């Protein structure tokens, strides 16, 4: 390891009667190599105790930032928030390459390799790691990492920054501007600032549409509803937040696509959390109104799964036909009929058809099958592999992922996409004189297949049920009775009159997951609350429940359904009834539901950091 070693005498801070020595390791060059290396003392042997102040200081040249990558990390964890004991303190946002007792820090690291972010970036020239260990001996090996210096101009937003704002940008399509480009959250790839609000306004020409792809989104970990997140990205299908909402992003994801319905798109990034994430990077493109897949550059078409799907799932026949390939665009039609070749007669052997659906805005594609009869051999153990089948793909993490396969003569349940794209691929390898293929209706819908309640435009998927309009009725998960779409969050708001409450009766409940229905088990869930924020009175529900009754405490009640990008189920079907507060509803719980209702929500304990002993450390002639 090559570095400069400087020892600084600790000043007396605030008239304390003791002084400490602060050892500073300065890294300002990789000596022509791709990266440099740093490590904790004695690595890979256990580090010593009572390391009070060891600084790793990385200094880049002008127009460059620092990237550090932890290859190994093992620092003894004594407290959940890492504020005491052994820890590494991060200084990522330094206006000048120096620190003192007033310099704000960006975070604390302790624990194992899986507990920390593996890659960190500075927002300016300097980055400092401060390593501490307490008096208790630890059998921990410490850390090993690489550092490099990268050009910060790689992360400049290709838009016009609006004067008088911190981070507002506008992107206007004209003969004198780019038709495509990139934009980022503030300070990207480092963590964004606290308490900010950034607006990104896109203005296309009359018949143009805007396509935005969020290549990386790193806000917060977990699966909390976006209603309860301090940091969110909101996208509206128009010039301002008064337009219909397309999507809200609040967790982590990649390759998330947004397509406007008109020439305007408005994106807002709000960050109010105590510990900001990395933020986002995205690209945009102004497209002609009659955009089709052929308008995508050939180097990007695999992004939509066109090359990937064909290569990985090519039918086991010597030749295929593509005469039945079709692109169905919502700009041209909002609904229609879909059939296999030759329907209602037998489809030709070795048929290979692709039905590509392209929606806009918050539209989802719903496919309802009316008839389905494909050739299936007597050997049922083969399921749908290497036989006549229809496969469904949706866009997840940058590629088209298969969500289901259908074969035989059982009519499939309704399908729904998780976004504006859906791909159906039909492979009639064998056929026979007794098969007639399939017939289905499709629709580009904005209501997520929810047919009751009044839809709110300010949320991507939200419905209000008001007792003054319908004192009783029903509601269901998206696309019920079909499989609900992945990566979807829907809210159901119940609003009663004064002194009313609402009673919910779930007749059917099948939501993929296991108790306690959290991200660690990759569970989808249904959440209840007497408020817009989270309500600890109610436990999350997932799995298969025969019957479920829930009652509010007040006139307002919220039900939130959230699915992830993995497994799925058929959701729920329920009825509601508004009651006077004095009314009671007699419920006979099943044994399973009684056990579920006794699960207590975990208490979250917030640790307060103790007073921190600060140091002065500076350097000159950089």
Give domain limits for the chain.
4-152, 156-287, 306-445, 454-588
pTM: 0.82
For domain 306-445, say whether CATH 3.40.1360.10 is its number. Answer: no
User: Rounded distance, CA 565 to CA 556, Å?
Assistant: 30
Question: For 308-360, what is each residue's pLDDT tens digit?
Answer: 333 333 333 223 345 689 999 999 999 999 999 999 999 999 999 999 999 99
User: Rounded distance, CA 212 to CA 214, Å?
Assistant: 7
Distance between first and last Cα of the chain: 21
In the chain, what percentage of residues exceed pLDDT 90? Answer: 68
Give the pLDDT of residue 591. Answer: 38
Question: For 350-381, what is each residue's pLDDT tens digit?
Answer: 999 999 999 999 999 999 999 999 998 875 55
Give the pLDDT of residue 503. Answer: 97
Give the pLDDT of residue 582. Answer: 59
Which top CATH class is 156-287? mainly beta
Q: Which value, in Å, is the radius of gyration of the alpha carbons in the chain?
A: 28
> Residue 349, CB half-sphere, CA atoms under 13 Å: how many?
9
In the chain, what percentage of residues exceed pLDDT 70? Answer: 84
Q: Do the domains spanning 4-152 and 306-445 agree at the CATH topology level?
A: yes
User: Rounded distance, CA 525 to CA 226, Å?
Assistant: 14
Question: For 461-477, what is each residue's pLDDT tens digit?
Answer: 999 999 999 999 999 99
Task: Decide if 549 contacts 504 (C-beta within 8 A).
Answer: yes
Which residues 6+ apart lie within 8 Å of 440 measured at CB? Answer: 337, 338, 339, 367, 368, 369, 370
- CA–chain centroid gap for 348, Å, is 42
* CA torsion, ordered 220, 226, 231, 235, to nearest 10 deg: 120
Report strand pairing: 399-406 vs 364-373: unpaired
Task: Decide if 11 contacts 111 (C-beta within 8 A).
Answer: no
Please provide the average confidence, as pLDDT, over all residues in the chain.
85
Phi-psi region of 595 (alpha: psi -120 to 50; beta: other; left: phi over 0): alpha
Cα angle: 484, vertex 266, 212; to 5 degrees:
60
Question: For 11-50, what is each residue's pLDDT tens digit?
Answer: 332 333 333 567 899 999 999 999 999 999 999 999 999 9
Q: Where are the alpha helices (DSSP H) in 424-494?
A: none
Give the pLDDT of residue 343. Answer: 93
Residue 90 has pLDDT above 80, yes or no: yes
Question: For 583-610, what is each residue's pLDDT tens digit?
Answer: 655 544 433 333 333 333 332 223 233 3
Give the pLDDT of residue 519. Answer: 83
Residue 527 has pLDDT above 70, yes or no: yes
CATH classification for the domain delimited by 4-152, as one of 1.10.10.10, 2.60.120.290, 3.30.390.30, 3.20.20.80: 2.60.120.290
Q: Where are the alpha helices (DSSP H) in 514-604?
A: 591-597
Average pLDDT over residues 283-306: 58
Phi-psi region of 159 (alpha: psi -120 to 50; beta: other; left: phi over 0): beta
Residue 77 has pLDDT above 50, yes or no: yes
Provide the CATH topology of domain 454-588: Jelly Rolls (2.60.120)
For 42, the token pair is 């004695």
Question: For 201-259, what is each residue's pLDDT tens digit?
Answer: 999 999 999 999 999 999 988 788 898 899 999 999 999 999 999 999 998 888 999 99
For 90, the token pair is 């991060």
Residue pointed to by tokens 């010039």: 239
CA distance to 471, 503, 511, 578, per residue, from 468 (Å): 6, 16, 31, 10
User: Rounded distance, CA 360 to CA 417, Å?
Assistant: 12
Listed range (266-270, 397-401, 530-534) with the worst mean pLDDT: 397-401
User: Rounded distance, CA 499 to CA 292, Å?
Assistant: 54
Which residues 6+ apart lie within 8 Å of 409 measured at CB? Answer: 372, 373, 374, 376
């Amino acid at each position: 390891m090559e570095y400069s070693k400087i020892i600084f005498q600790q000043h007396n801070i605030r008239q304390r009667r003791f002084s400490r020595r602060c050892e500073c390791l300065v890294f300002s060059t990789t000596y022509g190599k791709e990266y440099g290396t740093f490590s904790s003392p004695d690595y890979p042997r256990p580090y010593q105790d009572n390391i009070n102040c060891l600084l790793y200081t990385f200094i880049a040249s002008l127009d460059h930032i620092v990237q550090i990558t932890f290859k190994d990390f093992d620092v003894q964890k004594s407290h959940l928030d890492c504020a005491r004991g052994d820890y590494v303190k991060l200084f990522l946002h330094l206006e000048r390459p120096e620190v003192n007792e007033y310099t704000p820090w960006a975070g604390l690291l302790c624990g194992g390799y899986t507990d920390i972010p593996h890659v960190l970036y500075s927002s300016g020239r300097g980055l400092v790691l401060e390593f501490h260990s307490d008096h208790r001996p630890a059998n921990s090996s410490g850390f090993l990492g690489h550092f490099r210096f990268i050009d910060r101009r790689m992360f400049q937003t290709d838009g016009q920054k609006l004067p008088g704002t911190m981070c507002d940008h506008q992107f206007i399509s004209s003969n004198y501007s780019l038709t495509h480009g990139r934009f980022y959250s503030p300070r990207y790839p480092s963590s964004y600032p606290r308490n900010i609000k950034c607006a990104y306004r896109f203005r296309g020409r009359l018949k143009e549409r805007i396509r935005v792809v969020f290549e990386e989104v790193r806000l917060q970990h977990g699966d909390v509803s976006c209603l309860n997140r301090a940091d969110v990205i909101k996208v509206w299908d128009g010039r301002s937040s008064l337009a219909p909402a397309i999507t809200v992003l609040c967790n982590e994801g990649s390759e998330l696509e947004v397509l406007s319905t008109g020439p305007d798109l408005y994106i807002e990034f709000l960050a109010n959390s105590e510990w900001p994430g990395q933020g986002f990077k995205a690209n945009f493109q102004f497209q002609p109104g009659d955009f089709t897949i052929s308008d995508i550059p050939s180097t990007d078409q695999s992004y939509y799964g066109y090359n990937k799907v064909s290569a990985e799932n090519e039918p086991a026949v010597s030749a295929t036909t593509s005469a039945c390939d079709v692109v169905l665009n919502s700009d041209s039609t909002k609904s229609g009929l879909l059939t296999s070749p030759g329907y209602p007669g037998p489809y030709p052997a070795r048929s290979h058809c692709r039905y590509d659906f392209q929606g806009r805005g918050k539209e989802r594609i719903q496919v309802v099958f009316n008839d389905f009869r494909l050739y299936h051999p007597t050997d049922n153990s083969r399921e749908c592999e290497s036989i006549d089948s229809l496969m469904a793909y949706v866009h997840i993490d940058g590629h088209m992922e298969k969500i289901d396969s259908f074969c035989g003569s059982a009519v499939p349940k309704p399908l729904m996409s998780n976004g504006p794209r859906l791909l159906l691929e039909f492979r009639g390898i064998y056929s026979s004189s007794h098969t007639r293929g399939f017939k289905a209706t499709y629709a580009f819908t904005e209501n997520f297949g929810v047919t009751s309640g009044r839809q709110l435009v300010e949320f991507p998927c939200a419905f209000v049920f008001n007792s003054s309009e319908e004192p009783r009725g029903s509601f269901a998960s998206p696309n019920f009775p079909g499989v609900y779409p992945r990566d979807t969050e829907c809210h159901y708001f119940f609003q009663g009159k004064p002194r009313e409450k609402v009673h919910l009766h779930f007749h059917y409940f099948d939501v993929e997951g296991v108790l306690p229905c959290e991200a660690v088990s990759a569970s989808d869930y249904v959440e209840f609350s007497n408020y817009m924020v989270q309500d600890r009175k109610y436990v999350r529900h997932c799995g298969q429940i025969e019957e479920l009754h829930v009652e509010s405490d007040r006139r307002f009640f919220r039900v939130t359904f959230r699915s992830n990008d993995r497994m799925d189920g058929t959701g729920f079907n329920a009825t509601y009834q508004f009651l006077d507060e004095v009314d009671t509803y007699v419920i006979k719980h099943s044994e399973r539901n009684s056990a579920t209702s006794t699960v207590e929500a975990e208490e979250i304990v917030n640790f307060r950091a103790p007073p921190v002993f600060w140091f002065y450390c500076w350097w000159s002639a950089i």
